[in-house]
């Protein structure tokens, strides 16, 4: 039987991949990889790029190209068999990764290249690959004694398994909850699109009535529009206690996983000679020290908190005056904020949605990047995908050269992980003059189309789409020919959000809105009057939004920085302490936010969630140059393409930013864009 994960196909053969293919493929590739490493080390006395790094890059690429579709399918079409196969491979991949990271012979071979006469002849990207590799060896414990190396290996394996289990528990807890309502009147306040979606969900389950779920489009519709306060409170409680000891099933409780995860990260950091995991996290980031990070976050909090307090006071007064509500609870915030937005700005999110049908937004997004960078994006039919909702596109530059390809999967559904993300399917590399074209996955969880109408996106969803596409552009437009630093590889984690947050700015520009908006029935562009209202409301509750992000960032960082084995992670104590300092709306005691904080417990943001704000300073400051020169200024677009998107991780992020902007970043543009005075 041919294994689709071992065929040398340009793109994954999704329809052929079965759970039983996964383990044999990964085992075979890891065996081949180990043999290739030993062969390279035995055959050569003098190590060079061509006889060591290039062949090993080929081996790593084969593993990545087999594991990438498996990992992706586990996130977007999850089932028990695939989950078991995925989890069976995690220890094998973790063991291999640690083994390579602690391989003294391989480490010495890299060191010998770095010290050789040929090193000076390597290009910037190749030197960066070697520098990063030497750092990775040290961060994998290559210098530790055998006993400590063995412990490091155990920790790495357990952390990868805990991360996977955390995500599974959250997915299962989210999918498990639903509420069937027999009367339409129980859903008073919900717009037609949300009602239609709830009806469609019930029908898919063979039920009559309207079914609500904890999938984000369903949840957010209730929290924003449902007049029934008790319904909002019930859904809020269900959503905020997912995968916790207060949730539906004890086997989905993430409490122990979280405690163990923080403890193991701390132990790993100390094994490597760091005081805590926050210090270890910063070893691969732009920020120099934990103090620099906390100072940065606390400065932002100090400047934002008065605005946030004012935002909440105004909302509370509005709810009291207009609706007779004595006290606002967290499940009231979205609802009364929407009412207040309509009252203060005569702006309804539902009205705005009519002008953003998904197909128009997507084609408009392509037009924006065409004007910015001279790109041409076209659909490609007949590509093997994992679901009927998925579409495939290719990108050519102005000279007609093929630069990248991508899958796009826009809509929420059961068995699909929540949130939005870009991931690497195939990375760019150049071997023997042949370029491997990069391929990306772009995944969102928008409300799917209902009936014959297209999916209509909120303006926030439009921002999300532009955000993920920004990540995709950095992955696909890279001109770096070495996998280790092409695309987003090797980019400091606190700079990786720069291209994504940067792209969001065009969603607020009239010249761009002409391209991305068109009423789903008439095709009319978003009217000036409505756009003016959106602009007026752009920074509505910006202070509250800012302190919420700062709460998450400080919680994440300080939990990792201040951990002690004697006291444990003190997860909710740390969170309560942070909220006391920077929050304006304190959630109820039952809220278990951290139990679903995937970014830090199952993603790459541990002691790094601050990166969103850090990179937002970079992206706001970068965009301010377009504000000066013109939002479609060709020279400025060309400069951003050259210095940021095409250069990947081949140079330090700060050096690249300075090349583009002519100076180091400052915080002023961010405070101006968010309406918070400097």
Please identify every residue annotated as catalytic. Answer: 468
Output phi, psi for 566, to 5 deg: -65, -40
Whole-angstrom distance, CA of residue 488 vs CA of residue 246: 38
Quick one: DSSP state of residue 671? H
Whole-angstrom distance, CA of residue 506 vs CA of residue 31: 48
Strand ranges (E), 456-601: none
Strand ranges (E), 339-472: 376-379, 391-396, 402-411, 421-426, 429-431, 434-436, 439-446
Contact 263, 530 (CB under 8 A): no
Q: Spell out the residues 6+ positions from residue 283 whose beta carbon is closer than 8 angstroms to its own.
A: 135, 139, 274
Whole-angstrom distance, CA of residue 672 vs CA of residue 655: 24
Cα angle, residue 290 at apex, residues 289 and 295 outer, rounded to 5°: 100
Whole-angstrom distance, CA of residue 268 vs CA of residue 93: 18
Q: Spell out the residues 6+ positions from residue 486 whose beta carbon is closer than 8 angstroms to its own.
A: 125, 427, 428, 429, 438, 478, 480, 648, 649, 650
Q: Which residue has the tokens 């990438």?
A: 68
Length of the chain: 678
Whole-angstrom distance, CA of residue 163 vs CA of residue 617: 30
Whole-angstrom distance, CA of residue 564 vs CA of residue 573: 14
- Mode of pairing for the β-strands spanning 391-396 and 210-213: unpaired
Whole-angstrom distance, CA of residue 247 vs CA of residue 253: 7
For residue 169, which of 254, 235, 86 has the smallest C-alpha distance? 254
Output phi, psi for 82, to 5 deg: -65, -40
Other C-beta atoms within 10 Å of 590: how many? 11
Quick one: DSSP state of residue 587? P
Whole-angstrom distance, CA of residue 461 vs CA of residue 616: 18
Whole-angstrom distance, CA of residue 541 vs CA of residue 268: 40
Whole-angstrom distance, CA of residue 100 vs CA of residue 103: 5
Whole-angstrom distance, CA of residue 610 vs CA of residue 416: 26
Judged by phi (left if over 0) then psi (alpha if -120 to 50, else beta), residue 136 lies in: alpha
Q: Which residue has the tokens 């304190």?
A: 586
Cα angle, residue 195 at apex, residues 194 and 201 outer, rounded to 5°: 90
Output phi, psi for 435, to 5 deg: -95, 130
Whole-angstrom distance, CA of residue 345 vs CA of residue 540: 10
Gyration radius from the chain CA atoms? 25
């Amino acid at each position: 039987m041919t294994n689709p994960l071992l065929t040398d196909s340009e793109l994954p053969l999704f329809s052929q991949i079965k759970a039983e293919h996964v383990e044999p493929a990964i085992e075979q590739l890891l065996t081949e990889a180990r043999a290739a490493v030993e062969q390279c080390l035995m055959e050569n006395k003098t190590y060079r790029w061509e006889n060591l790094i290039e062949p090993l890059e080929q081996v790593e690429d084969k593993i990545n190209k087999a594991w990438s579709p498996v990992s992706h399918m586990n996130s977007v079409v999850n089932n028990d068999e695939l989950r078991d196969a995925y989890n069976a491979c995690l220890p094998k991949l973790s063991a291999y990764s640690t083994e390579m990271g602690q391989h003294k012979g391989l480490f010495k071979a890299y060191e010998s290249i770095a010290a050789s006469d040929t090193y000076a002849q390597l290009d910037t990207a190749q030197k960066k690959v070697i520098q990063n590799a030497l750092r990775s060896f040290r961060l994998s414990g290559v210098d530790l004694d055998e006993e400590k190396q063995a412990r490091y290996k155990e920790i790495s394996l357990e952390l990868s398994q805990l991360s996977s289990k955390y995500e599974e528990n959250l997915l299962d807890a989210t999918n498990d909850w639903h509420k069937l309502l027999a009367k339409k009147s129980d859903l008073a306040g919900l717009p037609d699109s949300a009602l239609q979606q709830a009806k469609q969900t019930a029908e898919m389950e063979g039920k009559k009535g309207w079914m609500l779920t904890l999938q984000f489009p369903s949840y957010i519709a209730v929290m924003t529009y449902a007049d029934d306060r008790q319904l909002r409170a019930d859904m809020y409680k269900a959503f905020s206690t997912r995968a916790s000891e207060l949730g539906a099933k004890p086997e989905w409780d993430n409490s122990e996983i979280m405690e163990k995860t923080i403890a193991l990260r701390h132990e790993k950091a100390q094994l490597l000679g760091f005081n805590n995991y926050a210090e270890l996290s910063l070893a691969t980031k732009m920020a120099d020290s934990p103090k620099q990070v906390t100072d940065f976050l606390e400065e932002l909090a100090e400047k934002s908190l008065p605005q946030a307090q004012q935002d909440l006071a105004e909302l509370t007064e509005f709810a009291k005056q207009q609706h007779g509500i004595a006290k606002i609870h967290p499940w009231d915030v979205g609802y009364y904020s929407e009412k207040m937005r309509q009252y203060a700005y005569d702006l309804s999110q539902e009205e705005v949605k009519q002008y953003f049908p998904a197909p128009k937004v997507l084609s408009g997004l392509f037009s924006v990047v065409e004007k910015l960078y001279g790109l041409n994006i076209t659909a490609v039919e007949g590509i093997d995908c994992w679901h009927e909702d998925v579409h495939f596109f290719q990108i050519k530059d102005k000279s007609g050269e093929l630069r990248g390809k991508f899958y796009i999967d826009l809509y929420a559904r059961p068995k699909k992980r929540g949130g939005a993300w870009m991931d690497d399917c195939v990375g760019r590399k150049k071997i023997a003059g042949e370029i491997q074209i990069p391929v990306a996955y772009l995944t969102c969880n928008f409300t799917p189309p209902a009936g014959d109408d297209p999916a209509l996106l909120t303006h926030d969803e439009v921002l999300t789409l532009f955000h993920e596409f920004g990540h995709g552009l950095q992955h696909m437009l890279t001109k770096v020919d070495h996998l280790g630093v092409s695309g987003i590889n090797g980019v400091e984690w606190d700079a990786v959000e720069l291209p994504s947050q940067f792209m969001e700015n065009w969603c607020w520009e009239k010249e761009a809105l002409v391209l991305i908006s068109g009423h789903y029935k008439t095709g009319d562009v978003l009217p000036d009057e409505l756009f003016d209202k959106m602009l007026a409301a752009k920074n509505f509750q910006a202070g509250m939004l800012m302190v919420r992000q700062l709460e998450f960032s400080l919680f994440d960082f300080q939990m990792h920085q201040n951990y002690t084995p004697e006291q444990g992670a003190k997860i909710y104590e740390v969170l309560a302490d942070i909220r006391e300092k920077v929050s304006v709306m304190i959630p109820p005691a039952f809220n278990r936010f951290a139990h679903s904080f995937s970014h830090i417990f199952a993603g790459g943001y541990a002691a790094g969630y601050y990166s969103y704000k850090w990179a937002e300073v970079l992206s706001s400051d970068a965009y301010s140059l377009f504000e000066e020169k013109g939002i479609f200024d060709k020279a400025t677009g060309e400069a951003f393409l050259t210095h940021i998107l095409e250069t990947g991780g081949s140079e330090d992020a700060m050096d690249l930013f300075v090349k583009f902007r002519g100076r180091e970043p400052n915080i002023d543009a961010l405070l101006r864009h968010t309406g918070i005075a400097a």
